[in-house]
Structure 1
Amino acid sequence: MNFKCVPVALLALTFGFSSCDTDKAEPTPALRTKMDYASLTATTKYTESFKDASGQSTVDLTASNTRLDMFTEFNNYMALVATTTAPSTLDVTKLRSMYTGSTFSNAALNTSGLQLRNTTAASFSATGAEAARTYIDNNITLLADASRSVNTPAAPGVAGRIGRYLVDGKGVEVNQVIQKALIGAVLLDQIDHMLLSDQALNANNSKTVDGKPYSELEHNWDLAYGYMTSKPIMTTVFDANNRERFLAGYLNEKNASASPGVYMAFLKGRAAIVNNDKAEVKNQANIIRTELEKTIALSAVSYLNSWKSNPDLAAKTHALAEGLGFIYSLRFCSKYGADAAFSDGVLNPLTAGTNGVWSLTNAQADVAINAIKAKFNIQ
């Protein structure tokens, strides 16, 4: 049958077509006017650069910034045990409540409906996520128990203070372990696996979310940025007196050469979403994920080396706990092939001595350092 000359009515009866027009359907119109990548610089404000046709910002960092604020207040409460003037005993009920989203001094956090605990290891299987959450829960209990000895000199098997730092009976400054573990389990995991993963980057970008000015993909990308900073321009230079919080702060401190590029990747990737440039979105996500994972590994190595080299016991204690927490967070570094088995394989020997870390040797630390360097291609 010569379809080109068959009457429209017959085609309609035969195939359900309404016409013989062979033109393909028009592609879905772009949601935004395209952006020039070259217009983006280190001084471009992320929060003011992406707008809809009416001039309304399409950036909303609220959910991730709220969790960042929760983490900050939770961390500040834990840190009361390390104050130099009046170290405090910590209330375990308050610690647990803050981890699950309440009892914050900022009332808005208590009514947000968000929390840290159910976001911990959210990309893992139900079993793996609960194991990570239980790890934090158990450390919260250890911290509260140790805080009852906040004015006692620490010794092997005895919780107490080394300088201004509180340690448990194994010599571990638990609040630092919790903080660094949550940097991986909440911030990195959300960015790396929930918001900028290959699957997340396939989110809808052809229409706005109902009642919102942004598409689903735009919002995923913005939330990832919001786990780094609440600032219009993420700080990319380390400043001990005005540092970014948590993961962004350690990016600046431990992976400094990559930090400006990470900010530019956030900008360029967001512009690529505007441009429906899927390949460029993926390229920029890869830069961010790779450098944030490397930041975790570099931090772990740096603190283990600090433990080895520092002659002051209090400083050694503090550095080691930070290193232990970052080693725990290695399990969230999937682009480098790290997982829970690798993380535990590095971590457990460091704390397995009869007296915990009191009996740790430089040789044992070197085994851990070398394993991390090999996995993450660190020279």
Structure 2
Amino acid sequence: MNLASLQKALLILAVFGLGLSSCKKDDDSYDVPETYSFENVSYSGQTDRLDMLGELAAYAKSASALSANALDANSMKDMFANQNDPFADADLNASSKQLKSKTVSTEQTLMEDLMDALATASMYTDSTASSGQAGIMQTNDGASSYLLNANGLELAQVIEKGIMGACFYYQATAVYMGSGKMDVDNETVVEGEGTEMEHHWDEAFGYFGAPTDYPSNTTGIRFWGKYADGSRETYLSTGTNLMNALIEGRAAISAQDLDERDAQIAIAREQWELVLAGSALHYINKGIANLSDDAAAAHHALSEAYAFVYGLKFGGLQTLSTADVDAILVQVGNHADPLQANLYNSTSANLQAAKTALVNAFPALASVQDQL
């Protein structure tokens, strides 16, 4: 090949290479905001459901004092299904949204059975709770009191956290971050909602229960936003990590960077699941600490621990099999069915076994298992 031909060939290769490089995505080609501040964001349906659970949980806990009024199971079920105008907030009654239809179908009847059981227990607010006797149990300092069923379980906590897990956590990580909601149109922008994919991601964010500038602002945090904070944020950075994943995933969707979206889905699912595991461990620790000294505090903590473990069945990432989750529920409450669980039979040895099982499944807990 003569010199002129060689130069021509090199020029062609250079131009071809320039064409290839111009098609390659620049990793810095789009901005990621510091807060969840994007155009066309809407998750009002999720806000409605958080408000609905807020009213339902407040009503369920209203029987947690001596001589409190008994609860009506049908009122709780109406709040669950948003029927018969059950809410104090008229806007919620007018909403087309509900909790029941978004709760894992296999768990809907259980939630309603728990409401029946809670209403039955609330008939005994004049009694002191003890093994075999539903009633009120007060902490040693008298500052707090809880309504327990005959087996020592605070059903109001199991209902609230149960819906948080089988509805909010499930919908956000298994449904809205799943292929059915992510493999959709990401071109057509609907004013106020964005593309279909953007809207689905925003709905997942809505179930988190945190302001758009969380975790620097924790005003009004509730449900998962609340439990990602506190000691879980201090020792595991769950609030920061989960919020960053939600922000970066949304930015990636808007930039058509679906590989990065998928990477952030994996992080969000991992961190959200860690909120459940870390919260379960936190309350197991409190249960162990109070088991022999303050029965009311122990029963309250272990009821929350039981409910957070239960929620581990419903995520888009399920590190523990359902059988493994049930085994931990047995260690915490002596039965995998909350209607049969009995906290009066809980022992330090069994609670330590539950703690070990969680640490083994979630290595991030190992170094902070006693601090959470």
TM-score range, shorter chain: 0.7 to 0.9
CA drift of 1:88 comes to 2.8
Residue 100 of structure 1: which of 64, 81, 86 is its match?
81
Q: How many residues align?
A: 320
Q: TM-score, normalised by structure 1?
A: 0.79
Aligned partner of residue 361 in structure 2, secondary structure: helix
Distance in 1, Cα, partners of 2:118 & 2:168: 22
Find the aligned partners of 2:318 and 2:119 in 1 and give their Cα distance. 35
Q: Structure 1's 318 and 338: CA in aligned 2 closer, same or farther, altered over 3 A?
A: same
* 1:250-269 map, 5 Å: 250-256=227-233, 257-269=237-249
Question: Which of residues 195, 199, 210 in structure 2 aligns to 1:219?
Answer: 199
Tell whether 2:149 aligns with 1:168.
yes
Contact persistence 1:59–1:214 (CA under 8 A): yes
TM-score (norm 2): 0.80
The 8 Å contact of residues 131 and 152 in structure 2, kept in 1 or not, is answered as yes
Residue 150 of structure 1 is matched in structure 2 by: 125
% of aligned pairs identical?
A: 29
* Aligned position for 1:358: 344
Alignment of 1:203-352 (within 5 A): 203-208=184-189, 213-229=193-209, 231-235=211-215, 242=219, 244-256=221-233, 257-310=237-290, 311-352=293-334
The residue that corresponds to 2:53 in the other structure is 71
**Aligned in 2, Cα 1:232/1:352: closer, same or farther, shift over 3 Å?**
closer
Does the CA contact (< 8 Å) of 2:281 and 2:355 recur in 1? yes
1:82 aligns with 2:57: no
User: Which whole-Å deviations, capped at 9, do the CAs of 1:208-262 have from their partners, x for residues lacking one?
Assistant: 35x7642110101111111113633234577xxx551111100012420131232
Give, in angstroms, the shift of residue 340 of structure 1.
2.7
Shift in CA distance, 134/343, structure 1 to aligned 2, threshold 3 Å: farther
**Contact 2:161 / 2:307 at 8 angstroms: preserved in 1?**
yes
In structure 2, what is the equivalent of residue 54 of structure 1? Answer: none
The 1:236–1:156 alpha-carbon spacing in structure 2 relative to 1, beyond 3 Å, is farther
Give the match for residue 93 of structure 2: 110
CA–CA distance in 2 between the matches of 1:281 and 1:368? 34
Q: Cα deviation per residue 1:146-178 (whole Å; 9 max; x = unaligned)?
A: 000112101110000111100000011110111
**Structure 2 CA distance, aligned partners of 1:295 and 1:230?**
14
Partner of 2:102: 119
CA contact (8 A) 1:177 1:322 kept: yes
Paired residue type of 2:38: F
Q: Hey, what's the Cα distance between the residues in 1 that align with 2:209 and 2:176? A: 15
The 8 Å contact of residues 81 and 90 in structure 1, kept in 2 or not, is answered as yes
Write the distance in 1 (CA, Å) between the matches of 2:55 and 2:348: 35
Could you tell me which runs of 5 or more consecutive residues in structure 2 were left unpaired when the two chains were aligned.
1-28, 139-144, 367-372
In the other structure, the counterpart of 1:6 is none
- Deviation digits for residues 31-75 of structure 1, max 9, x if unmatched? xxx7423xx22xx3x2xx322xxxxxx101111111111111111
Aligned-partner Cα distance in 2 for 1:364–1:219? 44
Going from structure 1 to structure 2, the CA distance change for 1:76 and 1:66 (only over 3 Å counts) comes to same
Query: Could you tell me which of 180, 194, 211 is aligned with 2:161?
Result: 180
C-alpha distance in 2 between matches for 1:355 and 1:207: 50
Q: What one-letter code is carried by the residue in structure 2 that aligns with 1:245?
A: R
Q: 2:112 aligns with which of 124, 137, 147?
A: 137
Letter in 2 for 1:249: K
Equivalent residues of 1:300, 1:324 under 8 A apart: yes
Deviation at 1:200, TM superposition (A): 2.7
Equivalent runs, 1:22-41 vs 2, <5 Å: 35-37=30-32, 40-41=33-34
Provide runs of 4+ in structure 1 moved above 4 Å. none
Segments of 5+ residues of structure 1 without an aligned counterpart are: 1-33, 52-57, 122-128
Is the contact between residue 204 and residue 215 of structure 1 (CA under 8 Å) also seen in structure 2?
Answer: yes
1:50 alignment partner, one of 33, 38, 61: 38
Equivalent position SS for 2:313? helix
Contact 1:217–1:273 (8 Å) recurs in 2: yes
Question: Residue by residue, what CA displacement relative to the aligned partner does 1:183-223 show, whole Å, maximum 9, x if unpaired?
Answer: 111111011111112443222101135x7642110101111
C-alpha separation between the residues in 2 aligned to 1:309 and 1:192? Answer: 33
Higher deviation after alignment, 257-266 or 173-182 = 257-266
Cα displacement (A) at 1:282: 1.3
Deviation at 1:265, TM superposition (A): 2.0
* Cα distance, 1:309–1:72 mapped onto 2, change above 3 Å: same
d(CA) in 2 for partners of 1:61, 1:114: 12
